[in-house]
Amino acid sequence: MENGNKQLRLRWCSAFALALLALVEADGFLVEITYVESAVAKGAVCLDGSPPAYHLAPGFGSGVNSWLVHFQGGAWCNNVTDCLRRSLTPFGSSKEMAKQSDFTGILSNTPDYNPDFYNWNKVQVLYCDGSSFTGNKEEVDPRTNLHYRGARVWQAVIEDLFAKGMNRAENALISGCSAGGLTSILHCDKFHQLLPVGANVKCLSDAGFFLNVEDIAGEDHAATFFNDVVTTHGSAMNLPHPCTSKLPAGMCFFPQNVVKHIKTPLFILNAAYDSWQIANILVPGDSAPHWQSCKNDISQCSAKQLMTLQGFRDHFLEALEEQGNSSTKGLFINSCFVHCQTEMQETWFAPRISGAW
């Protein structure tokens, strides 16, 4: 009966999302790209040495002094080969980025679909470094021309936004999806420190609470991967010091080791059955071919596989409980088999908790 309830819960999420998709019409609007050319002189560049970039939709009306800075997701690269491959894509080079972005979900400008932020200055920071904006290696190998400068990119983009009015922000929210959601956690307090004294500053992580858990083979796949990311990019000095002073830097890529130290108000939005984490942390790559159909379609999971997913969910909730209770922390954890819920209109327009942002 318990397995049946789990399947019903997961299937309900899929059916609910499909129903909303049918009800909610596409409501995006196209926003042009902005290249931060001045960042190049500071060495704040993408993996291939090209300038960083973002999309900015100016605020209007009562939102003219409010800012939403949303960081794009896109995983990470953990070695030279992986980063070289990435440098040929929009996630490693602004030369490959689309010139326009469709702003929907939390970036929508329609009050009915995005009542809290529709008229704010809305920024989508494009992700081209592969380290959640933490890398900072000075040297550049002439054989690869790879630049590990994510932390500099973060700083250069924020400075550019300050020059465009964010230095006068009365309200500011840093958010992100996936690797961008991790960015909003890792840079949360730093972002707050840069904003004007008296500004109302908060952070939102969507699908950014990546779990340190063994895979189905009992291996520490995620811990090894994040340690390689930190080493490759030289990220250690740009990770939260309260964590790195106690743990190896690679462990400070896991929010469960960082969130408890964050002082700025933080809201965590995540699925306990996070589909990306299940496919890449719990059952990474092609390590278990008999899991492929389950990873692609939750309704195809066997009873034993559902028990494994339930175990992941239990570990996820335990990691959240370890953060303790705080008036500056909030969360919304559902049991859907999804990854990222703020960027798509049909999931952002799903169940909302009313109240002041």
15-29, 70-84, 324-338 — which is least confidently predicted? 15-29
Active site residue 274: yes
Q: Which pLDDT score is estimated for 44?
A: 98
Catalytic residue, candidates 178, 184, 205, 235: 178
Q: Give me the residues paired with residue 68 across strands.
A: 122, 173
Q: Give the span between the Cα atoms of 301 and 287, in whole angstroms.
A: 16
Confidence check: pLDDT of 343 > 70: yes
For residue 28, name the pLDDT band (cuts at 50, 70, 90).
confident
Over residues 320-324, the mean pLDDT reads 95
Mean pLDDT of 177-195: 98
Distances (CA, A) of 324 to 102, 204, 240: 37, 18, 19
List the catalytic residue out of 48, 129, 189, 274: 274
Share of the chain above pLDDT 90, in %: 86
- For 107-146, what is each residue's pLDDT tens digit? 999 999 999 999 999 999 999 999 999 999 999 999 999 9
Residue range 214-234: average pLDDT? 97
pLDDT at 352: 52
SS (H, E, C) the chain: CHHHHHHHHHHHHHHHHHHHHHHCCCCCEEEEEEECHHHHHHCCCCCCCCCCEEEEECCCHHHCCEEEEEECCCCCCCCHHHHHHHCCCCCCCHHHCCCEEEECHHHCCCCCCCCCCCCCEEEEECCCCCCCCCCCCCCCCCCCCCCCCHHHHHHHHHHHHHHCCHHHCCEEEEEEECHHHHHHHHCHHHHHHHCCCCCEEEEEEECCCCCCCCCCCCCCHHHHHHHHHHHHHCCHHHCCHHHHCCCCHHHHHCHHHCHHHCCCCEEEEEECCCHHHHHHHHCCCCCCHHHHHHHHCHHHCCHHHHHHHHHHHHHHHHHHHCCCCCCCEEEEEECCCCCCCCCCHHHHCCCCCCCCC
Residue 211 has pLDDT above 70, yes or no: yes
Determine the pLDDT at residue 167: 98
Local confidence band at 287 (pLDDT 50, 70, 90 cut-offs):
confident
- The pLDDT mean for the chain works out to 92
Q: Give residue 23's pLDDT.
A: 43
Confidence of residue 12 (pLDDT cuts 50, 70, 90): very low
pLDDT band at 9 (very low <50, low <70, confident <90, very high): low
What would the pLDDT profile of 40-58 be if each residue is shown by its tens digit?
Answer: 999 999 999 999 999 999 9
Question: Which pLDDT belongs to residue 10?
Answer: 53
Which residues, in sequence order, are CB contacts of 250 under 8 Å at separation 6+?
223, 226, 227, 228, 229, 230, 231
> Which listed residue (70, 147, 192, 339) is catalytic?
339
What is this structure's pTM? Answer: 0.92
Output the pLDDT for position 1. 44
